[in-house]
Structures are given as structure tokens and as C-alpha cells.
Amino acid sequence: MRTRSNVRDHEPARSATALRHFEARLSFEADCADVYADMLAGVQGFTLLDTRSPTHYAAGHIPGALNLPHRRLDRDSLDLLGVPEDDLLVTYCAGPHCNASTRGAVRAAALGRAVKEMPGGLVGWEAEGFPVATGDEPQSLASMVRLGR
């Protein structure tokens, strides 16, 4: 007699269905390590948005990220920040327990903007050992890495 399995309680999806699902997830998400590598390499064409409050941003944020609380994300605020119209927006917030990045991604998509969410947020970024900036300004990631922070 086979022991009941929580893992196999539901049959896994067929390979073709699983492929579509996981490929689609990559269209919606960018992980911390990929964002870090691209930022460090100076890859252009995306803007990292911290969708938390200015207070939380100042306490600690990803270097190079712009602060744009999800409730304020609109065309005017993106224009004021100088975000190019054709940039991919990558939203993040505190971490898995926070949905500000999802709310920001919804607002960006409603504006017709290309957007991905960074799962894990700041918690995931820090867990990877990547540097964190403080203050009101988006310090350069490359300069922080050069300084050994």
C-alpha cells in the first residue's frame, strides 16, 4: 500500500502545459540575481522601481532603483522621474509578504507599459548578499560594488 503524498495529491501538469506555464512566468518576473547582473553590467532598457513608501525606500533600497510608491504610479510620475517610454519597468517591494510591487505592476500595465515584477523584493535581494543603499537618492549599484559595500 502506497503512503498518501501531499506532493502527489494532484497530478502534475503535462510537460507541454508545464512548459507554457513556466515560460509565461518568465514573461512576468525577473529574479534578483538577473536584475543584479544586468545592472552591474550596465544593461540599458529597464528601470527598477521601488514601489514602497519614501520612508521605507530611505531606510533601505536597491541601488539604482527609483522610488515610486504604487499609489502614485501614473504617466505624470514616470515622466517626472525621466523614465523612458520604451523602458521595461521592473517593480519590487519589501518581499513576499508585501504586494506593493504587484499593485505597481498592475498600474504600469494599465498604462500600456511593459512590466515585470521582481519576486522576493528587498528581502530576496538581501538574501542574495547584494548591496543595499539608504537615503533618498538612487545610488549607483556599480559605484557601491566598487566601494565594497
**At 81, which CATH number?**
3.40.250.10
Is 77 among the domain residues? yes
Q: Give the CA-trace dihedral at 27, 29, 32, 37, to 10 degrees.
A: 20
In a domain, 139, yes or no: yes
Mention every residue, 6+ apart, whose C-beta is less than 8 A from residue 131: 63, 141, 144, 145, 149
Question: Could you give the percent of the chain with pLDDT greater than 70?
Answer: 95
pTM: 0.90
At 146 the pLDDT is: 60
Indicate whether 23 belongs to any domain: no
Give the chain's mean pLDDT: 93
Task: Write out the residue range of the structural domain in which residue 36 sits.
Answer: 30-146
User: Count of domains in the chain?
Assistant: 1
Asked whether residue 8 is domain-assigned, the answer is: no
Band of pLDDT at residue 86, cut at 50, 70 and 90: very high
**Does residue 130 lie within any of the structural domains?**
yes
Q: What phi-psi label fits residue 59: left (phi over 0), alpha (psi between -120 and 50 degrees) or beta?
A: alpha
1 in a structural domain: no
**Residues contacting 26, CB < 8 A, separation 6+:** none
Classify residue 4: in a domain, yes or no.
Answer: no
Residue 63 maps to a domain: yes
- Any idea which residues carry the catalytic annotation? 93
